[in-house]
Amino acid sequence: MPRRMTENERQEFLAEPRIGVLSVASDDGRPPLTVPIWYGYEPGGNVTFFTGTQGRRARKTGLIRRADVLSLCVQREEFPYRYVTVEGTVIGEERPPSAERMLAVARRYLPEEAAQAFVEAELEHSPSELVLFEVRPDRWLTFDFTEDDER
């Protein structure tokens, strides 16, 4: 039977290197913008992620700034299914972000050498177009199909 995760379980789950799905209110009567992202999180802390201010990423950045709140959903796609959704408030913006803060996110998804190369390329190509957002978790929604003996 599915259950809610404990506070520790949800924070540990969110801290795992999973792809998050960000959702932010849209404009002009369009549905919310929902996109996959890499993010950073340590238990008890805030969620961070970086994006751009030009091209395809400009709409996402503008909507986040306008709404000042967003949702991030992270899930386990195979059985036993689990998910954590964080509803949060944007509390910080770093433009351009430091290499170290970008690396804290990229290292979760790439081997060290690839993470370094990725961040260096992003900063070299368009540093003024990058922004790192920091989001304070305000509310949590969780769902867990894991049996007690599997935890």
* Domain contains 119: yes
Distance set, CA 124 to CA 31, 41, 114 (Å): 34, 25, 15
Residue 151 clears pLDDT 60, i.e. is over it: no
* Domain contains 1: no
Residue 127 clears pLDDT 80, i.e. is over it: no
Distance set, CA 44 to CA 11, 24, 100 (Å): 7, 23, 20
* Domain contains 2: no
Q: Tens digits of per-residue pLDDT, 63-117?
A: 999 999 999 999 999 999 999 999 999 999 999 899 999 999 999 999 999 999 9
Domain count, the chain: 1
Residue 117: phi, psi to the nearest 5? Answer: -65, -40
CATH assignment at residue 80? 2.30.110.10
